[in-house]
């Protein structure tokens, strides 16, 4: 398995994530897709870390995971608050800010 | 004794934090909040008065009560506090106005806690501007003063003629921040140029004051800094935010706004633009000598056509700030000292005016002079104070306004205003005549306001008005009048310190050199 | 002695402050006494200075600046010399009786303490002018006089006419002060100092020889300031209106102090300048003459007893100004002194009459008061005779010397004017005398003589009014003021021809008045007024000067102010501020469409944007 394979896999994952964010309306799915993109990025880090032969990239992955965890916590909190308020997790239903 | 400058700055900050954790449920709670704010502002007042007394007017070093705290060494950034003669006068002015402002805002009963937190935050900002000798913190504190002002007017303000309080506060904030952003560009230019020319990148004004910039740099960048701050003074025609802002603000905020905030601009021009770019100032200030005549005459005339008491005082402020600008434009000892002294005098005077207007507005809910009339009969104390205020504002000897305006006029008479770019020179007597005529105009609208609102037969609608009777309520007004009278009768008390500060300005230092060069 | 001078200056101020900050004292019966004591100090020290022959000058630096290589000191000081001593006597000895009178006159007024506080403040301001050592100090107290006169004239603040009159007095003086301050600045820039002595020295040394036109201009500008306080045409309009104040105020301000301040200040200033003014002096003499005649003619048709005296004051000030213009400063000062006493007396008599007639001021509602108020009647008579210049009373000496001064300076026409005005003076004074004291009583309430506290001051002033002229003339008053003689002048002596001529003219004036109003009748005068109604209308309307000013202020100035307000609201707020605002709002409104609020759309834009950037950089890197 070469670096090329791993980067390709990461690219596929990332594209899937983007497609999910763009096309899905359910905020939970959107959040899942964001996670997918983050993991794609993490995968790329690991791949290059391995290729370069040092650990810098893997350190970055830990950062990314920590940040992602925080982000998910905040994001889910927002989703729950939103659900309590509007009884929906449909992103199109929450467009009040444009007013 | 340099800790005094920290005390002045930190006292309102402590008040902020203290009030944040107080509860506001009953009237007793509200009173406690008020007492806390008044108490900490008294601390500031005492500390600033101590500074005033301990300030050594003959000292060789420029800034006294210095406190230096390094922050980001690599870019020459640190919190440096200290005062010279000019900022000393401003700090004393601020502490007096805030001390009285806290007391007259007793009338506010809605969201007292938030009101005092914001008021105290505003104080920290204003004190910070006057105390900072560091460009970065100067700007930081300046922005810190503007934001609470926005909320204070927006939440506790009142309608000003046909403009809503939201409009007024929006306009004020936009003008002030836009002006500040323009000035910021200039400040950054000075910072980087100072680093380039002098070799040391530093926000310390003392370091910047050592650098001699090239004439072309000064002439290019002086207008940027000047105009940015002139919007706050306000220079005609950038003044339109100020009367509306005055009128919409609640009385304590009007007091701070007209009394102190408007002085930030003139102070910044003196402290930064004059000090770092003296040649630019020499080059451009002639035009200011012309524009400020518009301030004086036009502001006065518009005030004459107003019927709302706060608008009358608001436009009169822009007229009086014209004298400050004229004093700055003279670029000589008399004019500059007069300008600083006038900033002080006008601050106290307008604080008094807005405090009094607030007092009767709470009861009458109108400020239109046609609706009032004969109120002296029912409000003898407030009326007497108002007449004293108007007399002081109209330049009655014995009050600080007269002494300071006299200095500005003397300075302007002996000055020449070179209109850069046209090759013309405005002789000193032209703005002087405008300034003297401005005094006639100010007497006209003030006496008219007195006659319409206070004298004449009593309008029966107001026979139930309550005068200022308790000692607690009288204190702020009496204190302000006393300050005006003491500094008016014994101006040397203050002027000796101001002239020390003015004398150490770079424009004053370089003046003889340039004189010789001209010969 | 220096201490005495400072105490004299500050005592009334202390009294005023004390009465203001102590409400319980202010309301008590002792309030007037405090004020009276503070003025009596002035009377006492003025005598002390006169007897001891004190000359002193004491300075206190008010502000000081490094300036032009040296320092510029702005000083407050007291100066006692012959001129200020004489003026102190006027203020002290006219002021004190007036204060006593006021105590009686204002008795029962609920805010008598407030009145005396203002009254004392006024005396303080006046003393500041008297003691002044330099132009800035005189200007400071000049303004204070203006402000305290504002407070006093507007004392009855619930009366709209009083407020209006107070405002008018203050503003008229402010306009005149515009010239005054410019004059001071001009003097400063040519002589480099504000101090009278320094300027005088510089003029004497010939240092200012090259600046003679500037010096003349400064002289005229300073005189403009004096025209305001001394109510010369065209700044005279405030004085008759100022009669809205209580009568003691009129007596003090419009006889002894405020109006005299102008003349006094001009003497102080012109003495410094030393030189003759040429055109400037013609201007001054003409101003005086016009004022004298204009006021005297208006006085003839007045019906209010105080207004008659007010216009008479204007007319007499015209005399003083004529003397100033002719360069005979000592003579002007002489007339100022005598006038202060007899005009103070006349005003107090009028006050006594008004008090006795229950605050009636219209002479046509008086009459026959000779029997009811004998003391007042006799005092009024003495005052009138002194004013009209009946031989050997005080007005005779001072007025004749002025006519003589005009004669010496070859102002032939003006000499005639001055003489004719003397006749007019006799006419209007005798008219009011007959109307008030003779014939039958035409009013309603029963008149009564005033109490002793009011009549004693009358008698005191009457003695001085009668005798002061002779004392001054024969006692060497002109020599006493010889330092203030104008250049090229010497003490004058009564010229028999002039004296006899003017006495005859005055008697003719009396005769005319007698023939119309001799028995206190009013019908003859009315029929004459009817026959010459255009002239009468012109005089009653004060030559329409007030109406002209009203139009000027009401239409022109107010119109201009409204115009500025329109500019403010439409141009500055509407266009300069309004257009950028509207542009911002408009563009925001247009761009708002992009903010759909749909998350997917935002994400799409974001990804699209990033993709485009990546493509751009790849392409840019490839090149």
> Can you name the CATH fold of A3-93?
Helix Hairpins (1.10.287)
Q: Which pLDDT belongs to residue C276?
A: 56
Give CA–CA dist A46/A40, Å, rounded: 10
> How many structural domains does chain B have?
1
Q: Which pLDDT belongs to residue B274?
A: 85
Per-residue model confidence as pLDDT tens digits over B167-207? 888 888 888 888 888 888 998 888 888 888 877 888 888 88
- The answer to whether B413 and B334 are in contact (CB under 8 A) is no
**Given CB atoms, is B316 within the 8 Å cutoff of chain C?**
no
**Per-residue CA distances from C369 to B417, C433, C522, C606 (Å):** 67, 10, 16, 103
ipTM of the modeled complex:
0.89
Question: Is residue B412 in a domain?
Answer: yes
Give CA–CA dist B82/B2, Å, rounded: 8
Q: Which pLDDT belongs to residue B278?
A: 84
Per-residue model confidence as pLDDT tens digits over C244-269? 888 888 888 887 788 888 889 888 88
**Given CB atoms, is C493 within the 8 Å cutoff of chain B?**
no
Joined tokens for residue A78: 């927002």
Q: Coil, strand or helix: which one is B334? A: helix
Joined tokens for residue C198: 């320094």
Could you list the beta-strand ranges (E) of B26-136: 64-72, 77-83
Give CA–CA dist C404/C444, Å, rounded: 47
Joined tokens for residue C417: 């004017």
Q: Is C595 within 8 Å of A97 when comparing Cβ atoms?
A: yes
**Per-residue CA distances from C248 to C10, C90, C305 (Å):** 22, 16, 14
Q: Which residues of B touch C214 (CB under 8 A)?
A: none
Q: Which pLDDT belongs to residue B108?
A: 76
Q: Is B397 within 8 Å of C140 when comparing Cβ atoms?
A: yes
- The answer to whether C421 and C318 are in contact (CB under 8 A) is yes
**Given CB atoms, is A21 within the 8 Å cutoff of chain C?**
yes
Joined tokens for residue B243: 């009367």
Give CA–CA dist B312/B442, Å, rounded: 10
Nearest Cα neighbor of B137 from B233, B55, B182, B72 is B72
Q: Is C598 within 8 Å of A92 when comparing Cβ atoms?
A: yes
Other CB atoms within a 10 A radius of the CB of residue A77 amount to 10
Q: Is A95 within 8 Å of C600 when comparing Cβ atoms?
A: no
Minimum-distance CB partner of B376 among C157, C160, C572 = C157
Question: Is residue B516 in a domain?
Answer: no
Q: Of A64-73, B201-210, C185-194, C253-262, which has the strongest mean pLDDT? A: A64-73
**Given CB atoms, is A97 within the 8 Å cutoff of chain C?**
yes
Q: Which pLDDT belongs to residue B519?
A: 39
Higher pLDDT, B243 or C211: B243
Q: Which pLDDT belongs to residue C410?
A: 78
**Given CB atoms, is C605 within the 8 Å cutoff of chain A?**
no
Higher pLDDT, B24 or C87: C87
Strands B417-419, B424-426: pairing kind: antiparallel
- The answer to whether B376 and B454 are in contact (CB under 8 A) is yes
Give CA–CA dist A79/A93, Å, rounded: 13
> What is the domain range of residue B26?
3-503
Give CA–CA dist B384/B477, Å, rounded: 11
- SS3 track for C307-359: HHHHHHHHHHHHHHHHHHHHCCHHHHHHHHHHHHHHHHHHHHHHHHHHHHCCC
Q: Of A38-47, C274-283, C462-471, which has the strongest mean pLDDT? A: A38-47
Chains that touch C (3 or more CB pairs under 8 A): A, B
Interface of C with B in 140-159 (CB under 8 A): 140-141, 143-144, 147, 150, 154, 157-159
Question: Is residue B517 in a domain?
Answer: no
Q: Which pLDDT belongs to residue C527?
A: 79
Q: Is C171 within 8 Å of B444 when comparing Cβ atoms?
A: yes
Measure in Å the smallest separation between the Cα of A35 and chain C Cα atoms: 15
What residues does each domain of chain A span?
Answer: 3-93
Question: Is residue B511 in a domain?
Answer: no
Question: Is residue B233 in a domain?
Answer: yes
Q: Which of B464-473, C173-182, C411-420 has the lowest mean pLDDT?
A: B464-473
Q: How many helices (H) and strands (E) does chain B have?
A: 21, 4
Question: Which residues, including other chains, have CB under 8 Å from residue B486's CB and lie 6 or more apart?
Answer: B493
Q: Which of A30-39, C100-109, C331-340 has the lowest mean pLDDT?
A: C100-109
Q: Which pLDDT belongs to residue C529?
A: 78
Question: Which residues does chain B have with pLDDT short of 70?
Answer: 161, 510-519
Q: Is C167 within 8 Å of B432 when comparing Cβ atoms?
A: no
Measure in Å the smallest separation between the Cα of B410 and chain C Cα atoms: 7
**Per-residue CA distances from C220 to B92, B509, C133, C180, C614 (Å):** 43, 39, 20, 9, 82
Q: Which pLDDT belongs to residue C235?
A: 86
Question: Is residue B185 in a domain?
Answer: yes
Per-residue model confidence as pLDDT tens digits over A13-51? 999 998 888 888 888 888 899 899 999 999 999 999 988
Question: Is residue B172 in a domain?
Answer: yes
* A9 has pLDDT over 90: yes
């Amino acid at each position: 398995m070469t670096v090329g394979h791993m980067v390709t896999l990461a690219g596929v994952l990332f594209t899937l994530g983007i497609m999910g964010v763009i096309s899905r309306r359910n905020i939970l799915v959107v959040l899942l897709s964001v996670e997918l993109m983050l993991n794609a990025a993490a995968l790329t880090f690991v791949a290059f870390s391995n290729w370069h032969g040092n650990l810098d990239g893997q350190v970055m992955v830990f950062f990314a995971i920590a940040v992602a965890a925080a982000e998910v916590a905040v994001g889910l909190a927002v989703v729950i608050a939103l659900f309590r308020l509007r009884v929906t997790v449909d992103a199109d239903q929450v467009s009040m800010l444009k007013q | 004794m340099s800790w005094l400058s920290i005390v002045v700055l930190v006292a309102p900050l402590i008040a902020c934090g203290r009030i944040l954790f107080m509860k506001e449920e009953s009237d007793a709670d509200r009173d406690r909040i008020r007492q806390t704010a008044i108490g900490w502002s008294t601390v500031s007042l005492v500390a600033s008065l101590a500074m005033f007394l301990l300030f050594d007017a003959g000292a060789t070093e420029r800034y006294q009560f210095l406190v230096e705290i390094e922050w980001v060494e690599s870019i020459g950034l640190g919190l440096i506090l200290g005062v010279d003669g000019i900022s000393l006068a401003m700090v004393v002015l601020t502490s007096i106005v805030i001390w009285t402002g806290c007391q007259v805002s007793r009338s506010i009963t809605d969201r007292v806690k938030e009101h005092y937190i914001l008021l105290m935050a505003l104080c920290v900002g204003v004190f910070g501007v006057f105390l900072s000798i560091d460009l970065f913190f100067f700007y930081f504190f300046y922005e810190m003063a503007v934001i609470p002002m926005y909320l204070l007017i927006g939440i506790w303000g009142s309608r000003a003629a046909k403009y809503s309080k939201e409009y007024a506060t929006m306009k004020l904030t936009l003008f002030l921040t836009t002006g500040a952003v323009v000035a910021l560009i200039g400040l950054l230019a000075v910072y980087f140029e100072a680093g380039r020319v002098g070799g040391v990148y530093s926000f310390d004004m003392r370091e910047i004051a050592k650098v001699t910039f090239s004439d072309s740099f000064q002439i290019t960048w002086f207008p940027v800094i000047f105009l940015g701050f002139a919007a706050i003074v306000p220079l005609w025609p950038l003044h339109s935010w100020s009367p509306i802002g005055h009128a919409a603000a609640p009385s304590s905020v009007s007091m701070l706004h007209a009394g102190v905030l408007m002085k930030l601009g003139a102070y910044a021009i003196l402290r930064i633009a004059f000090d770092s770019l003296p040649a630019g100032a020499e080059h451009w200030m002639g035009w200011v000598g012309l524009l400020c005549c518009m301030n004086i005459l036009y502001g006065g005339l518009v005030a004459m056509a107003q019927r709302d008491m706060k608008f009358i005082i608001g436009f009169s402020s822009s007229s009086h700030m014209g004298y400050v600008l004229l004093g700055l434009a003279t670029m000589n000892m008399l004019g500059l000292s007069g300008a600083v002294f006038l900033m002080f005098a006008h601050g106290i005077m307008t604080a008094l005016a807005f405090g009094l207007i607030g007092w009767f507005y709470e009861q009458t809910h109108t400020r239109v002079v046609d609706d009032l009339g004969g109120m002296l009969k029912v409000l003898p104390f407030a009326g007497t104070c108002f007449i004293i205020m108007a007399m002081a504002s109209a330049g009655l000897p014995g009050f600080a306004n007269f002494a300071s305006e006299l200095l500005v006029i003397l300075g302007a008479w002996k000055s020449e205003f070179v209109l850069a770019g046209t090759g013309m020179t405005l002789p000193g007597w032209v703005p002087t005549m405008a300034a003297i005529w401005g005094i006639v105009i100010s007497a006209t609208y003030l006496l008219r306001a007195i006659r319409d609102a206070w004298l004449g037969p009593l309008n029966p609608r107001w026979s139930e008005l309550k005068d200022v009777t308790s000692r607690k309520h009288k204190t702020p007004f009496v204190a302000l009048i006393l300050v005006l009278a003491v500094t008016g009768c014994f101006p040397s008390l203050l002027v000796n310190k101001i002239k020390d500060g003015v004398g150490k300005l770079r424009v004053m230092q370089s003046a003889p050199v340039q004189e010789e060069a001209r010969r | 002695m220096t201490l005495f001078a400072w105490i004299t200056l500050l005592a009334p101020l202390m009294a005023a402050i004390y009465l203001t900050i102590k409400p319980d004292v202010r309301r008590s019966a002792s309030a007037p006494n405090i004020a009276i004591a503070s003025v009596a100090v002035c009377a006492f020290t003025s005598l002390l200075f006169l007897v001891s022959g004190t000359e002193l000058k004491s300075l206190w630096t008010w502000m000081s600046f490094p300036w032009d290589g040296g320092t510029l000191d702005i000083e407050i000081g007291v100066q006692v010399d012959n001129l200020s001593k004489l003026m102190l006597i006027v203020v002290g000895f006219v002021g004190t009786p007036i204060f006593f009178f006021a105590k009686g006159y204002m008795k029962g007024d609920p805010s008598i303490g407030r009145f005396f506080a203002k009254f004392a403040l006024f005396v303080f301001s006046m003393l500041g002018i008297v003691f002044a050592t330099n132009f800035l100090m005189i200007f400071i107290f000049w303004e204070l006089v203006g402000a305290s006169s504002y407070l006093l004239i507007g004392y009855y603040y619930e009366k709209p006419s009083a407020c209006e009159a107070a405002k008018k007095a203050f503003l008229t003086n402010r306009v005149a002060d515009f010239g005054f301050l410019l004059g001071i600045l001009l003097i400063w820039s040519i002589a480099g100092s504000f101090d009278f002595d320094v300027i005088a020295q510089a003029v004497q040394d010939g240092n200012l020889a090259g600046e003679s036109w500037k010096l003349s201009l400064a002289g005229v500008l300073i005189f403009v300031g004096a025209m305001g306080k001394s109510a010369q045409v065209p700044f005279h309009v405030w004085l008759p209106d100022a009669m809205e104040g209580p009568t003691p105020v009129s007596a003090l301000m419009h006889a002894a102090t405020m109006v005299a301040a102008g003349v006094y200040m001009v003497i102080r200033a012109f003495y410094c300048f030393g030189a003759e003014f040429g055109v400037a002096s013609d201007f001054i003499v003409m101003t005086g003459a016009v004022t004298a005649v204009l006021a005297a003619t208006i006085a003839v048709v007045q019906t209010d007893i105080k207004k008659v005296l007010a216009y008479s004051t204007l007319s007499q000030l015209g005399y003083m100004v004529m003397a100033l213009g002719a360069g005979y400063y000592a003579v002007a000062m002489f007339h100022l002194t005598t006038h202060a006493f007899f005009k103070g007396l006349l005003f107090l008599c009028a006050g006594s009459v008004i008090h006795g007639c229950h605050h009636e001021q219209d002479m046509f509602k008086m009459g026959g008061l000779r029997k009811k108020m004998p003391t007042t009647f006799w005092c009024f008579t003495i005052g009138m005779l002194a004013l009209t210049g009946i031989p050997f009373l005080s007005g005779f000496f001072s007025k004749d010397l002025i006519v003589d001064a005009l004669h010496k300076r070859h102002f032939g026409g003006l000499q005639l004017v001055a003489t004719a005005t003397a006749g007019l003076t006799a006419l209007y004074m005798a008219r009011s005398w007959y109307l008030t004291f003779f014939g039958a009583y035409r009013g309603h309430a029963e008149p009564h003589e005033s109490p002793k506290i009011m009549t004693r001051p009358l008698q005191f002033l009457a003695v001085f009014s009668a005798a002061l002229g002779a004392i001054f003339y024969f006692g060497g008053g002109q020599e006493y003021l010889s330092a203030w003689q104008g250049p090229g002048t010497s003490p004058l002596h009564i010229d028999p021809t002039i004296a006899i001529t003017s006495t005859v003219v005055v008697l003719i004036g009396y005769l005319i008045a007698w023939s119309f109003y001799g028995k206190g009748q009013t019908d003859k005068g009315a029929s004459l007024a009817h026959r010459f109604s255009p002239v009468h209308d012109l005089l009653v309307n004060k030559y329409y000067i007030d109406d002209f000013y009203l139009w000027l202020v009401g239409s022109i100035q107010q119109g201009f102010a409204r115009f500025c307000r329109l500019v403010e609201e439409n141009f500055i707020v509407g266009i300069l501020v309004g257009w950028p605002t509207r542009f911002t709002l408009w563009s925001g409104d247009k761009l708002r469409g992009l903010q759909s609020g749909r998350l997917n759309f935002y994400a799409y834009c974001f990804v699209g944007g990033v993709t485009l950037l990546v493509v751009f950089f790849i392409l840019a890197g490839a090149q």
